[in-house]
Amino acid sequence: MAYGTKRKMGKAKLGGKTVRFKKGALRKQLKLKPKQKLTKAGMRRASKKRVGSMIKVAGKSVRLTRLMKKRLNLGANLMARKRSTKTNAK
Give the pLDDT score at 51. Answer: 95
Task: Record the pTM.
Answer: 0.78
Whole-number CA gyration radius for the chain: 14
Q: Using CA atoms, how far apart are residues 28 and 53, in angstroms rounded to an integer?
A: 19
Average pLDDT over residues 47-64: 89
Residue 55 gets the label, from left (phi > 0), alpha (psi -120 to 50) or beta, of beta
Residue 90 pLDDT more than 60? no
**Torsion over CA: 86, 77, 58, 25 (sign):** positive
Give the pLDDT score at 3. Answer: 65
Average pLDDT over residues 30-56: 89
- Residue 52 identity: G
Report how far apart the first and last C-alpha atoms of the chain are (Å, whole number). Answer: 41
Question: Within 13 Å and on the Cβ side, how many CA atoms surround 12?
Answer: 15
